[in-house]
Amino acid sequence: MSAEATNPEARPEARPELRRRGRTRLDLRRLGRAALLGPTSRDRLPDAIGHVAEAHRAHHPDADLSLLRRAYVLAESSHRGQTRKSGEPYITHPLAVTLILAELGAETTTLTASLLHDTVEDTEVTLDQVRAEFGDEVCFIVDGVTKVEKIDYGAAAEPETFRKMLVATGNDVRVMSIKLADRLHNMRTLGVMRPEKQERIAKVTRDVLIPLAERLGVQALKTELEDLVFAILHPEEYEHTRALIAAHAGERDPLPAIADSVRGVLREAGIAAEVVVRPRHFVSVHRIARGRGELRGSDFGRILVLVGENADCYAVLGELHTCFTPVVSEFKDFIAAPKFNLYQSLHTAVATPEGHVAEVIVRTRQMHRVAEAGVVALGNPYATAPPAESPADCDEERADPTRPGWLSRLLDWQQSAPDPDTFWSVLRAELAQDREITVFREDGRASGTLSLPAGASCIDAAYAQYGEAAHGCIGARVNGRLTSLASRLSDGDTVQLLLAQDASSGPAADWLEHARTPAARIAISSWLQAHPDTAKPAATPARAPLSVVGARGGGGNAVADLPDATVRLAGCCTPVPPDAVAGFVVRGGAVTVHRIHCAAVAQMRALGRTSVAVHWRATADCRVTLLAESFGRPHLLADLTEAIAREGVEVVSATVEPPVEQRVRHTYTLQLPDATGLPSLMRAMRDVPGVYDVRRA
């Protein structure tokens, strides 16, 4: 099952790169009919699953196949007499699903559950029987894949089935592995369905199953599903792409010659590597055609280089960039920074002397296995875990080392979406977000990381960290700087969230415009619906800032090297000793003094203004402007003024802006008797209850 096969209708069992040398093509229809002819001896595997056993042993040579034999016997006997819409015996379906997973390297428990995945749903077999015969793990996986009864849920059956499946996946990712393989085989045989049903199933596959396959890293399933969906939902574009590929097949392909050159370069460098040309699948070719307009001969495939160790990947990269002309914009290092779906590789592109540009992927063989099979390649994630209670008898989720951040977020917000329609629409929106970022959180008590979708804001981080307590969030510091909650976060940012002390505070209606994650949007919407009177606050006339102005002014202890000039300290940066400063003559002949790094200095110099040398007098007194950010509360201004007075500092002027989202901003111009007391003054102001930031203007 190649992740980049050019024919979406080709069967994986017929592809030579994914079967062992000498393996014959598997005809599931013939084997399915043969399976109904009678029982087999108990001392050997039934012929119908011989190919499954062979594929399984290729990845797991020491696997115990007795469990597969018993599972097949139960599946075949329980499905006997049932047929698919195509007329084939029904047993061909679980056989095909199990073979898909076996080719990907799934372990025995997954294959056993795959053979039985439809027995509880479509036959008289019960979960208790499966548990008694095959154990708790197989039972849990089969139950996770089993659809809910349509008679109980009606139109909500499909959303609730996916909800149940996703919750089960949170405990065991093998549940979703089977569902993806199940959908792939159903999509391959979808031609017997009515066109409208084909379209409905294809849309669900596109919106839900393909993003899940991408997030779980199962590229081999994802790419074939993409091509099958493409053929159903966009038949004209599909046929056009097919024609492009067919036309290219009759032309000379430059990639094999480039691959030979790469082999020669690596051989001379002493690097053991396997170099192959990987054809692109239909959707990949279609995307390139849309992006570039005209396709080059090398656009129909990529060169894959497989090596033994991580260090060899970078050695290969060095040789490629030395012996060919690298296309710098195409380089990506997913080894040092893996994708959130476990994917690791080096991506680059090189140009040959003939002018051909070839994309090259470099990875180890283990990386290749994970890139193709994703979580399936990890085997049994619970193999080394201590024995636990039966999943049916335990309410706690099992610890899953393969459970990624996006799945944890999904499981959290789905609990707050009891309405199936809301769950279904939000699920599709969540899965449409195909990139993740990691931000570092700091709240004064604990630190850690948060995984968020790309484009997430501080609002999303607040709800991811605090849940419903984030209703009282009033601001955030990102990388140490105060910012608004609407600010978008970038990968690697450090975020500190500021919560109001008033427990009754709630989110503003415009938060929904900036919230990206379902958890945040659902929580905000629920609060606004429960508090309709606060959703649209009545308009109030804007209040002017409260100002208190003292009597002193002038240039403090700054002296300009200009006789008889009046000196003023700039209000934009309020320099104090021993700041490096510059002065500029302004209208009226006065000299305004700025800190050397003030933006006004750069503007003056850009205008050609000549600076005037300024120095500080020996006296230590100075003037400074400070900004204080705080939560709104009674007597705050009085407490801050008292704290300033205790430090022996005179208030020249003070401005208090009207509260915004329970935050108040104060601006103080202060006369200090000694510049060395500024740090102590700022600490004293920060110690006032409710004040969370004090900084110079």
- Rounded Cα–Cα distance for residues 583 and 593 (Å): 4
How far, in whole angstroms, is CA 523 from its chain's centroid? 21
Q: How far is CA 30 from CA 9, 27, 117, 177, 201, in A?
A: 19, 6, 22, 26, 27
Q: Catalytic: 122?
A: yes
Catalytic residue among 27, 54, 88, 121: 121
Contact predicate 633/588, CB 8 Å: no
Identify whether the C-beta of residue 372 lies closer than 8 Å to the C-beta of residue 219: yes
Q: Which residue of the set 27, 54, 88, 122 is catalytic?
A: 122
Which residue, 468, 502, 481, 510, is CA-closest to 631?
502
Q: Which long-range contacts (CB under 8 A, 24 or more apart) does 62-71 make?
A: 63/107, 63/108, 64/108, 65/108, 67/108, 67/112, 67/134, 68/108, 68/111, 68/112, 68/115, 69/44, 69/45, 70/133, 70/134, 71/111, 71/112, 71/115, 71/116, 71/134, 71/138
Residue 518 near residue 413, CB atoms below 8 Å: yes
- Interatomic CA distance for residues 407 and 451, integer angstroms: 10
Buried b (16+ CB within 10 A) or exposed e, 597-608: ebeebeebeeee
Among this protein's residues, is 443 annotated catalytic?
A: no
Asked if residue 478 lies in contact with residue 489, where contact means CB atoms within 8 angstroms, the answer is: yes
**What residues contact residue 433 under an 8 Å CB cut-off, 6+ apart?**
453, 454, 455, 516
Residue 561 DSSP one-character state: S
Q: Where does 73-122 show beta strands of DSSP type E?
A: none
- Measured at the CA of 395, the angle between CA 392 and CA 396, to 5 degrees, comes to 120
* DSSP string over 635-697: THHHHHHHHHHHTT-EEEEEEEPPPBTTEEEEEEEEEES-GGGHHHHHHHHHTSTTEEEEEE-
**The amino acid at 578:** P
- Retrieve residue 359's tokens: 């994309």
- What b/e readout covers 150-188, taking b as 16+ CB neighbours within 10 angstroms? eeeeeebbbbbbbbbbbbbbbbbbbbbbbbbbbbbbbbb
Packing angle of the helix pair 219-233, 282-292 (nearest 10 deg): 70
**What six digits make up the tokens of 160?**
């609730």
CA distances from 659 to 162, 503, 680 (A): 46, 17, 27
Q: Which residue has the tokens 């102005």?
A: 549
State the pairing for strand pair 546-549/591-595. unpaired
Peptide bond into 578 cis (omega under 30): yes
Among residues 474, 475, 460, the alpha carbon closest in space to that of 523 is found at 460
Specify whether the CB–CB gap between 283 and 243 falls below 8 A.
no
Show which residues are catalytic.
121-122
